[in-house]
Amino acid sequence: MPGKRWAVPALLALSLPLLTAPMTAPPATAATSSAQAAATVPLEEINATATQVAFGLRRPTAIAAPDDGTKRLFITEKRGTVRVYHPDTGLSQTPLIDITASVDESGNERGLLGIALAPDFARSQNLYLAYTALPDGAVTLARYRLGQAKLEPLLAQEHSENTNHNGGQLTFGTDGMLYMSIGDGGGAGDPFDSGQRLDTLLGKILRVDVSRSCGDLAYCVPADNPFTKVQGARGEIWMYGGRNPWRFSVDPANGSLWIGDVGQGRWEEIDHVKAGRQAGANLGWSCYEGLEVFDQAQCRTDVTYTKPVFTYSPHTGGCAVIGGQVYRGKQFADLVGGTYIAADYCYMTTWALRENGSGGYTAAEIGEMPTQVTAFGATPEGELYVVNDLPGGLHRISFEHVLPTCRIAYTARTWGTGLTMDLTITNVGSTPINGWTLRFPLARGQSVISDWNTDLVQNGDMVIATNAGHNGSIAPGQSVTMGYLASHTGDTASPSRFTLNKDTCAVAR
């Protein structure tokens, strides 16, 4: 939980579209029959909280919610089981599904990784599972017929050399196709150059039609997949250049893909690829990690790379981005409707991203998640949940309207390869601030040379500035100033987000 802020009662709004769209669309529901404009409450005035509603999960990895009126959540566990949670009766002790005999859970990242319910699940009782299979850890897509307790492997990608970077997200798109992520094969630095190759499913997001079979395949490759006519390429590939896109989601309002791609160690990234731009999109790895060139040998001049819309470095305390979902529920639509919510496995903050109407995005830290979040999920009505790895719990996500207790104003001056930044920190709360630490990221290529009125340290792109001996106390309504001199390599952009003692600050622009 961040530092104290002033709570403002949240207002309710109309419902928004469902999490997924079916292969054969059912009658419209309240969640699919209306659409709304995105919320306009500034991100720094939103606080996210997580309330634990279930205990005793064993390394949960994914969440799915059947749209069958039962209010259940299905939760996968790494070992190969699927548990059921109901808000009235809690977590069932008896697994709904047990495929442990088929799952290789060796290593930290292998196991049962993903789940997606057939769009006609209420009738067919079919669902789809992604897991690393015995005996060699092959990343496998399978259909599970719940009524028959029958597991039917459909697709497998060899993944025996390393136990990490398996991907495993499964999601049905608004087009009725099943999308699946597979990591680059593990190890470090893309040792197989998988990301940029089209002859392997490693480092890819796939798109397949699991409603039917074609020839020797237990599924069909859609004819409009981008590489079906490219010699030597795998036709299942929809997008490439991923490192470990552990969690991605489809925004049901517009069909866009939001992808959290885990970084090598310098940058975690979130990609937002809109409908019409997805087929054949190249996410960059391992030419790029985030916005920086990682391996020049993997870069090509005849390729267009899709740039991430948000990056952050592990110097924030993070280690692995956990891609989330766009909030399309009813309860908090006025606050976060149309806002993408994500997290990090090591860093407890909640990330919020929103398009700014000018072709860019605003981002903020809006609260804290439990430790070691592994996946987001949503009810058919669009309300959000998360699961966390250890100690293994399910948490309901809520949002509230708050007023920041700090405001940042700045004045920048740039020249040649240098810049100065003067920052004014104002306490707009009702209690004194006694001792402060201001955290903010710098644009790429900016390096602090000296500072004033603060004790400042730069780690990578992150600046951590603490009070000097003479300005540690800020009374309500009062301000302190600090600043720094920095060099730059061309990008003179000012910091876009600030936290003071872990509380998000408003920014005077």
Q: Which of 352, 344, 354, 353 is nearest to 316 (CA)?
A: 344
In the chain, the N- to C-terminal Cα span, in Å, equals 26
Which domains are assigned to the chain?
6-325+334-403 (2.120.10.30), 406-508 (2.60.40.290)
User: Quick check: 33 pLDDT over 90?
Assistant: no
Cβ contact 380:328 at 8 Å = no
- The pLDDT of 326-352, averaged and rounded, is 97
Gap between the Cα atoms of 120 and 143, Å rounded: 13
Q: What confidence score (pLDDT) does residue 19 get?
A: 27
Structure-token pair, residue 86 = 């109901």
Q: What confidence score (pLDDT) does residue 36 get?
A: 59
Cβ contact 507:501 at 8 Å = no
User: Quick check: 17 pLDDT over 90?
Assistant: no
Question: In terms of residues, how long is the chain?
Answer: 509
| Predicted TM-score of the model (pTM) | 0.92
Gap between the Cα atoms of 405 and 7, Å rounded: 11
Q: Which of 224, 233, 231, 175 is nearest to 204 (CA)?
A: 233
Q: Which of 410, 398, 379 is nearest to 331 (CA)?
A: 398
Of the chain, the percentage scoring pLDDT greater than 70 comes to: 93
User: Quick check: 378 pLDDT over 70?
Assistant: yes
Cβ contact 207:236 at 8 Å = yes
Give the tens place of pLDDT for each residue, 482-506.
Answer: 999 999 999 999 999 999 999 999 9
Cβ contact 385:63 at 8 Å = yes
Handedness of CA 403, 400, 271, 348 (dihedral sign): positive
Cβ contact 112:79 at 8 Å = yes
Residue 316: band (very low, low, confident or very high) from pLDDT cuts 50, 70, 90: confident
Gap between the Cα atoms of 8 and 45, Å rounded: 9
Handedness of CA 52, 57, 63, 67 (dihedral sign): negative
Residue 38: band (very low, low, confident or very high) from pLDDT cuts 50, 70, 90: confident
Q: Which of 93, 10, 11 is nearest to 49 (CA)?
A: 10
Q: Could you identify the residue written with the tokens 């009738």?
A: 123
Give the tens place of pLDDT for each residue, 247-260.
Answer: 999 999 999 999 99
Amino acid at 47: N
- The pLDDT of 362-388, averaged and rounded, is 97
Angstrom distances, CA of residue 303 to CA of 72, 97, 196, 395:
44, 43, 10, 42
Angstrom distances, CA of residue 84 to CA of 20, 64, 70, 151, 279:
20, 10, 11, 18, 35
Please tell me the chain's helix, strand, coil percentages from 3-state DSSP, rounded to the nearest 5: 5, 45, 55
